[in-house]
Structure 1
Amino acid sequence: MTDLDDELWTAVAEPGRRRLLDVLLVHGEATPTALAAELPFTRQAVSKHLAVLLDAGLVTQRREGREVRYTVEPDRLHDAARTMIAAANRWNARLNAIKRMAESLHRAEEHEPPRA
């Protein structure tokens, strides 16, 4: 796993940041002030969350006069979804292997002669 993947997991692990991404996806582009108006966070908290999302490459920013506007980076969001799907598939494979081992042990115990 790369540092960028670690930043991705850190960014999306926090429910507030996922919610911020959802709102930003609806708007397409927004300032921290506009986002704070729709979220249960202060503008300062929104800015901090945006900084984490920016570091992870999930959003981009552009300056328009005195305002900074943020947009979701669709390619990175797509990469993030693929990374999470791959991780989920690895965990499913591991859990299925554990399940098969447990079932095998259970079947072996059923066929053992009773202990005296």
Structure 2
Amino acid sequence: MENILLRSLLVLSLCSVGSALSCFECNSDNDAICPRKECAANYDACLNVTIMASKQVLRRCWMNQRCHDRAVRAEFGKGADVISSVCCNWDLCNSRQSGTPGTDLNLFLLSLLAASVGLHLPWF
């Protein structure tokens, strides 16, 4: 019984609820003044663009299929400016100090999994 419960918790932690992606959307690198936006259904990535010459930062909802350099430059290119861009696919991942996706529940379940492996509990 314990084994089934642990497996179920692990599977649930790896599933995500079907909701729209949220991204910061503004022309600033300051998270405090940058509003959060729920992206439209066809926008499945967050984008963070830096125009190096002017140090301007642009953050948007974006389409994952357009996360290549040519598409970003076509949209935001300012002549000969060098552009640096990063696409990501989890909520608010285009923050100034973006980490990796994860929740407290996932961390808890990962710790539980590590503890059970350490105790040599049979999993599969």
Per the normalisation by structure 2, the TM-score is 0.27
In proportion to residue count, which structure has more helix? Answer: 1
The higher-RCO structure (CA 8 Å, 6+ apart) is 2
Per the normalisation by structure 1, the TM-score is 0.29
